[in-house]
């Protein structure tokens, strides 16, 4: 039964409203969202802002920065997207997902402020996060860019430090067909006189040029900061001999992400000082699901990774190659149709013995039949199409003998649904009164 008025809306009702309120799912303009946050008196924000952009590695860096600043004693907000299971995961304070009543209250306030303005789902989510952080009086907010940077809703507030993690080919229909065009869009989160950390070892010229033209204080990995692996962890290449821990998720690429986060912390040290111990504990205790996440079910190893573009899958494949070889490798795969599907599967086709494919999302997902055709054209072996991710997961589970390995990748939807189907959905956000991600002594 539909609610009689918006005063009776549940969180799901509000999400459905904002999914359909604006005529475009993606609208890369900032005028409407700017007007709303100005009406809410959120500009400038009453907290420090770190904005994290790039093609891959954004979620990992947000998780580490969130943990580092919490361990340093700050109240920390984090805004990420998409989510694995529940919308609440996108908006966190001190590691705890926003609760349904909190989100309902936020959307009620936003709705009452709109007037004749319409916001998209992502834009309304961004405003809700900024408002939540202000109401919770956080000291610092870490914002993940949704897509691009220059015209992304997260860029509606000025950053105190921009981090561009990587630049590769993705969302080309919106951002451009080459790294230079995409890099120019991603660099748009930088601000004059503010630090800008660039963690791509071969950044497009457009990124460095934008930083110079804008007057941002750029620090580039390999030029201004770096790391060296040592027994037990890593050290900064700048001469600091303290051994820092390896991140607790993902593969080797996460060390570069950790070094970039340390560079962000250094860049803001005068405003948000962080001790060496807090930096180390923050990296050690960072929490993130779905990045080379491993679990054993009925004697079978399952590895989950949200990799969904060629660059991310290449890193995933390299991490898999470093593991002991399994007697048989199966894959559960579903991806969005706007991705470079042939490029996504290419690194894994030679090592996968059987594929279980399906449509991840009714609106944007490539059909299982389309994925089957792409795989067959690449010479993939044994391809089975299922009705949904849960069915693909069940089929792979039935086919996998003890000792086998099953990889799950292609999108957040794929990983979230597969983990749920296996009973591995145990993120704190599932609990109605979930504890904080970390607890102070």
pLDDT of residue 363: 79
Which residues in the chain show pLDDT less than 50?
Answer: 1, 428-435, 441
Alpha carbons 177 and 89: distance in angstroms, whole number: 31
Question: 329-333 and 405-409 as β-strands: parallel, antiparallel, unpaired?
Answer: parallel
pLDDT tens, position by position, 156-192: 999 999 999 988 866 555 555 688 888 888 899 999 9
pLDDT at position 344 is 93
6-288, what's its fold? 3.40.1190
Fold of 293-421: 3.90.190
Q: Is 363 exposed, middle or buried (0-12, 13-18, 19+ CB in 10 A)?
A: exposed
Cross-strand bridge partners of residue 117: none
All structural domains of the chain with their residue ranges: 6-288, 293-421
Best CA proximity match to 218, nearest among 173, 162, 266, 271? 162
Joined tokens for residue 314: 């290449």
CA distance 404 to 31: 52
What digits encode the pLDDT tens for the residues 347-386? 999 999 999 999 988 778 999 999 999 999 999 989 999 9
Query: Can 6-288 and 293-421 be said to share one CATH topology?
Result: no
CA 201 – CA 199 distance, rounded (Å):
6
Encode pLDDT of 382-411 as tens digits.
Answer: 999 999 999 999 999 999 999 999 999 999
């Amino acid at each position: 039964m539909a609610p009689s008025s918006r005063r009776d809306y549940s969180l799901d009702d509000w999400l459905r409203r904002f999914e359909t309120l604006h005529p475009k799912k993606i609208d890369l303009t900032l005028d409407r969202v700017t007007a709303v946050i100005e009406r809410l008196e959120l500009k400038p924000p009453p907290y420090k802002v770190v904005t994290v952009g790039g093609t891959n590695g954004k979620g990992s860096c947000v998780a580490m920065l969130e943990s580092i600043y919490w361990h340093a004693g700050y109240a920390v907000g984090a805004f990420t997207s998409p989510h694995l299971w529940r919308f609440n995961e996108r908006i966190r304070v001190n590691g705890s997902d926003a609760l349904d009543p909190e989100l309902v209250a936020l959307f009620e306030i936003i709705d009452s402020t709109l007037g004749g303005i319409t916001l998209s789902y992502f834009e309304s989510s961004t405003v809700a996060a900024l408002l939540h952080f202000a109401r919770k009086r956080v000291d610092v907010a870490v914002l993940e860019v949704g897509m691009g940077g220059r015209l992304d809703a997260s860029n509606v507030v000025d950053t105190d430090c921009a981090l561009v993690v990587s630049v590769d080919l993705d969302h080309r229909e919106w951002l451009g067909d080459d790294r230079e065009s995409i890099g120019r869009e991603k660099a748009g989160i930088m601000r004059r006189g503010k630090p800008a950390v660039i963690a791509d070892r071969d950044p497009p010229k457009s990124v460095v040029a934008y930083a110079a033209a804008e007057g941002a204080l750029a620090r580039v990995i390999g030029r201004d900061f770096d790391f060296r692996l040592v027994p037990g962890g890593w050290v900064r290449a700048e001469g600091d001999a303290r051994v820092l821990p390896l991140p607790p998720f993902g593969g080797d690429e996460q060390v570069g992400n950790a070094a970039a986060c340390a560079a962000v912390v250094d860049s803001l040290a005068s405003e948000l000082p962080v001790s060496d111990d807090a930096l180390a504990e923050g990296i050690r205790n960072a929490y993130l699901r779905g990045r080379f996440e491993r679990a054993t079910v009925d004697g079978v190893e399952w590895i989950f990774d949200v990799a969904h573009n060629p660059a991310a899958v290449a890193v995933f494949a390299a991490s898999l190659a470093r593991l002991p070889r399994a007697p048989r490798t199966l894959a559960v795969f579903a991806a969005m149709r706007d991705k470079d599907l042939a490029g996504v599967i290419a690194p894994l086709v030679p090592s996968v013995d059987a594929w279980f494919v399906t449509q991840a999302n009714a609106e944007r997902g490539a059909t299982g039949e389309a994925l089957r055709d792409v795989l067959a054209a690449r010479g993939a072996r044994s391809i089975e199409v299922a009705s949904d991710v849960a069915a693909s997961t069940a089929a792979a589970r039935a086919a996998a003998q003890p000792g086998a390995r099953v990889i799950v990748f292609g999108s957040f939807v794929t990983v979230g649904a597969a983990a749920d189907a296996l009973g591995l959905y145990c993120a704190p956000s599932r609990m109605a009164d979930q504890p904080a991600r970390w607890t102070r002594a």
